[in-house]
Amino acid sequence: MGKMRLDKFLGHMGFGSRKELGALIRAGRVTVDGMTVTDPATPVDPAGGGVAVDGRPVAFQRHFHVLLHKPAGVITATEDPRQPTVMEVLPPELRRRDLFPVGRLDKETEGLLLLTTDGTLAHRLLSPRWHQPKRYLAQVDAPLGPGDEAAFAAGIALEDGYVTLPGQLEIVGPQEGIVTIYEGKYHQVRRMFAALGKRVVYLRRLSMGPLVLGDLPRGAARPLTEAEVEALYASASLSHP
């Protein structure tokens, strides 16, 4: 990779808009190879590791990946004029114009949502061909039994005639189960239970592929760890850029 303007480099790394970065640089808060620079057009080597903001080194990353515990009441979209989106839930330091959600959780569903800047990775993660398991905690309005587990294992015919891939239902309470599916049709878990005569009253995604929600609080977000990024690319049979 060749050299690029300092403000463009910092913009790619998520430090703000072109205007904000101009002010940041002209204020003398950025150094290149240990020297303070005040010209936003200063050429820098992105892979050189010589840029620092307020004394903190800025390491180049080609792509960014964020794990969000999506709360209910927000839609999975980058922007919407009428409803709050998942992008508005992210803390300012994690918001980037090129970040987008991988798949969808409907407005009332909570849980793990991955956001990335890598379109190739997103495509692989969403394709049924790559069989990325997605696990959900579901609470329904009627008792669950062995017949429901068998139905999930066989694949369920939805209201439009589509038959889902086989999945799993592990009953963990009278009206509560852990669901694992390998595709991502619109409202799939809710529609699978509806086909069995049950209405989902609460739904939370617990994991997707190698990513696990864990104890991340509702509404909180964090960058993926390097180990998570490596596991994610490996699960999609892609080399980590």
- Catalytic center residues: 106
Q: Which helix (H) or strand (E) holds 69?
A: strand 65-70
Given a contact cutoff of 8 angstroms between Cβ atoms, the answer to whether 232 and 132 are in contact is no
Q: Helix H segments across 30-118? A: 86-89
Phi, psi of 36 (to 5 degrees): -65, 135
Within a 10 A sphere around the Cβ of 154, how many other Cβ atoms?
Answer: 12
Q: Which two tokens stand for residue 190?
A: 């809710």
Q: How far apart are CA 142 and CA 197, in angstroms?
A: 8
Given a contact cutoff of 8 angstroms between Cβ atoms, the answer to whether 204 and 221 are in contact is no
Q: How far apart are CA 39 and CA 47, in angstroms?
A: 20
DSSP 94: G
Given a contact cutoff of 8 angstroms between Cβ atoms, the answer to whether 25 and 7 are in contact is yes
